[in-house]
């Protein structure tokens, strides 16, 4: 183990600790970290924004390849910026509506295909009792149906319907359980990532061994 000599690593550790200090209570170090993030990410964003989009996708095409038509969307884009000028903010709507409308229009049939049709198709499975898959398929069939019923609001949960809804809630709970377990895992992984950073990059321990 040898301590890192890289000033940046030290900086990283300093901020890691400043953020962790929030566990004790909200404090200036945490606030500093919070604002540094904002600063860095904005600066970072602006540079990439220019290097990777504005320059190659607008400046070059328009001023070198002469696709002047692109000036129109550019103007629309600038109209969007007018949002911050209360008097002119309504102008931004033209750009926004153009964007949002198209997006919405594209979305409907595509979601229909990807998250409805394909999903329905995948739920049509051959049921049978004499093979593991067959039985699993039965479980899936019941599961999907009953959960759909649980979220069906036009009929009171009574009788058979109510029974189905009850089964549905159990499926939901198992599903949420899975999410729960996985989420716990995720949260822990995040901290482990930081621990690894401190142990390896900062303290320079060789853990792989």
Partner 1 sequence: MLWKKQIPLAITFITGLVFGIQYFVPHRTSENLFNAYVDWEIVIGIFGGILAYISFYRAHTMRIRKKAPAWQYSLVAIGISLLMIFFGFIQGTETGTFFSNMYFYVLVSIEGTMFSLLAFYISSAAYRAFRARSAQATALLIAAIIVMLGRIPLGEQLSFWKLIWSNAPSFTDIANWILNIPNMAAKRAMNLGIGLGIMMLSLKIVLGIERSYMGSGD
Partner 2 sequence: MHRPKVQTLAFLAIAVWVSMLLSGCVQESTAPAVPTGATVTDIPADDGTNILIAWRHYKSSTAKQYSVYYSLSKDSLENEDLMKSLTPIVRTIQTAASSVGDTTANNVCDLDYYVVLDDPSSENPRVTLVKATNENRDSLASIGEKVLQVESELAPVGQDELKLIYAQGDFYRVKPPDAPGEANKTTVENSTLAIDSTGPKIAEGTNSLIFELGLSPAEKAFRDAEDRIVPFDPEQNEFFLKYGTKILGIVTSKSRYTLDFDIVQAFIRGNIAPGQTYFYKIVADNGKKATASSEILEFTPQNEPPIPAMGASARWDAERSEVLFNWQGFIPSLKPFRDVREYTIHKFTKEDSACVAGEIIGTYAPDFTSAIVKGEFSEGDMFYIATTDKSDQRSVSQPFGLTPFKLSPPTLVEPLDVVDFENDDGGALSVRWGVPQIAIDIVAIDPSPKFEDKELGENYYLVPTESGYEIAHLEATEEMPIDPKAAPIVGVKESKLAEKFDVSVSYRMFINDDNDVLYAKFKLDDGKFQNDFANVGSFKFEGLPAGEHTFEAVLLNSAGKELKNPEARVTRTIVIDRPTTYWDDRPTDHLEFWRGNAEIIRKDTVWLAGVPGFDPTNRFTFEQIGMSELIERQIKDAFPDSLRDLGEYYYFVRQVAEDGSFTDSEIFGPITPKSQLYHTKKSMVLVLVILFIALVTIFLKLARTGRRFYLRPIAGIAHLDEALGRATEMGRPILYVLGLSGISDIATLAGLTILGRVAKKSAEFQTRILVPCVDPIVMIVAQETVKTACMDAGRPDTYNEDDVFYAAGSQFSYAAAVAGLMVRHKTAANFYMGMFFAESLILTETGSMTGSIQIAGTDAVTQIPFFITTCDYTLIGEELYAASAYLSQDPLQVGTLKAQDMLKAIYMVVIVIGTVAMTTGFMWFVNLFKIRLEQ
Partner 3 sequence: MAELKQEKTFWEKLVQIDRRFIYLIIALAMTLPFFFQMGLPIPATKEVKDIYDLIETFKPNDVVILSADFDPSVSPELLPMFDAMFRHCLKAGVKVIAMSLYIQGPGLIEPVINQAAKDYNKVNGIDYAFLGWQYGYNLVVINMMENLKQTFPVDYYGERTEDLPILGNVNNYADYDLITSMNGSSTYMTWLLYAHEPYNVPMACGVTAVSAADVYPYIQSGQFIGMLGGLKGAAEYETLISEKRMATMGMEAQNWAHIFIILFIIIGNIGFFIIGRKK
Q: Which of residues 19-78 bind partner 1 (CB under 8 A)?
A: 19-20, 22-23, 31-51, 53-54, 57-58, 70, 72-74, 76-78
Q: How far is the CB of 101 from partner 3 (least distance, A)?
A: 14
DSSP state of 199: I
64 is a contact residue toward partner 2 (CB under 8 A): no
56 is a contact residue toward partner 3 (CB under 8 A): yes
Give the pair of three-digit tokens for residue 24: 């004790």
CA 141-108-179 angle, 5° bins: 45
Q: Give the CA count within 13 Å in the CB-facing half-sphere of 13.
A: 18
How far, in Å, CA of 134 to CA of 130, rounded? 7
Identify the helix (H) or strand (E) that includes residue 31.
Answer: helix 28-48
89 is a contact residue toward partner 2 (CB under 8 A): no
**Which position has the token pair 């009929």?**
155
Nearer to partner 2, 89 or 128 (CB): 128
Q: Where along the sequence are the contacts to partner 3 (CB under 8 A)?
A: 23-24, 41, 44-45, 48-49, 51-53, 56-57, 60, 103, 106-107, 110-111, 113-115, 118-119, 121-122, 140, 175, 178-179, 182-186, 188-196, 199, 205, 207-208
């Amino acid at each position: 183990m040898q301590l890192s000599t890289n000033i940046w690593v030290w900086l990283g550790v300093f901020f890691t600790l400043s953020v962790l200090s929030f566990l004790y209570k909200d404090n200036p170090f945490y606030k500093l970290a919070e604002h540094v993030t904002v600063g860095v990410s904005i600066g970072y964003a602006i540079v990439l924004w220019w290097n990777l989009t504005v320059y190659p996708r607008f400046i070059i095409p328009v001023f070198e390849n002469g696709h002047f038509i692109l000036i129109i969307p550019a103007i629309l884009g600038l109209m969007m910026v007018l949002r911050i000028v209360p008097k002119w903010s309504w102008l931004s709507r033209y750009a926004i509506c153009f964007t949002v409308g198209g997006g919405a229009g594209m979305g409907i049939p595509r979601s229909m295909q990807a998250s409805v049709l394909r999903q329905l198709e995948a739920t049509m499975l051959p049921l049978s009792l004499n093979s593991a898959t067959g039985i699993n398929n039965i479980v899936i069939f019941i599961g999907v149906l009953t959960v759909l019923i649980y979220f069906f609001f036009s009929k009171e949960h009574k009788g058979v319907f109510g029974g189905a809804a009850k089964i549905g809630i159990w499926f939901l709970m198992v599903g949420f359980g899975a999410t729960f377990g996985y989420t716990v895992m995720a949260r822990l992984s995040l901290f482990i990532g930081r621990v690894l950073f401190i142990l390896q990059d900062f303290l320079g321990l060789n853990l792989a061994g």
